[in-house]
Amino acid sequence: MNKKDRLDIVYEDKDLLVVNKPAKLLTISTDNEKEKTLFHKAINYVKKKNQKIFIVHRLDKDTSGIVVFAKSESLKRLLQDNWEKLAKVREYVAIVEGKPEQESGIIKSYLKETKTLLVYSSNKKGDGKEAITHYRTIMNNKKYTMLAITIDTGRKNQIRVHMKDLGCPIVGDKKYESKSNPINRMALHANKLVLINPITNKEMTFEVDVPNTFINLVK
């Protein structure tokens, strides 16, 4: 297997495969791209062991970090059907432009999507899907702030829209009004997941390091 096809494996057992997805890689295929995906790499990896693999959740193409695969369709269904309950902690680190007015807080809104696939917030109850994001400041400098972000809901582009709503778009996220891209990627990384395995009922914690490029931006 050549280097670009290798998976960055965080954890593996007979039920689960947990990997650290790089930025700029699709989680699953689209109409335009079938093979250059994390799922395709995972399929190739388990094929050698005569195993199957099933996608449980996904990250945006430009987001890096923890992605969970199931090794059976029944576990995939159990996880997907109960994801909001079983995924106890979903933590991200983001570098945002500027500095939030409050060092920490909760953003709640209802998210809707335009025909051009742009997600936006509504404050009217029931007008879209409810989205809840918590954030706290880790460190900052004059230009950027590093935030720890946890989500209660996993809506499409949720963190990206909520950071824009905060007046601090994620670095490199041109779609949601970022004006800078110093590290040639979007600065959003899924660094921690606490998950209940529905087969064993055990709580499992998966963590990956924050990219050095993020830390260097706020030093």
| Catalytic residue IDs | 60
Q: Which of 170, 88, 162, 105 is nearest to 128 (CA)?
A: 162
Name the residue with tokens 């209802």: 110
d(CA 130, CA 172): 25
Residue type (1 letter), 116: T
d(CA 143, CA 3): 35
Residue burial 16-43, b: 16+ Cβ < 10 Å; e: rest: bbbbbbebebbbeeeeeeeeebbbbbbb
Report whether 174 contacts 98 (CB < 8 A): no
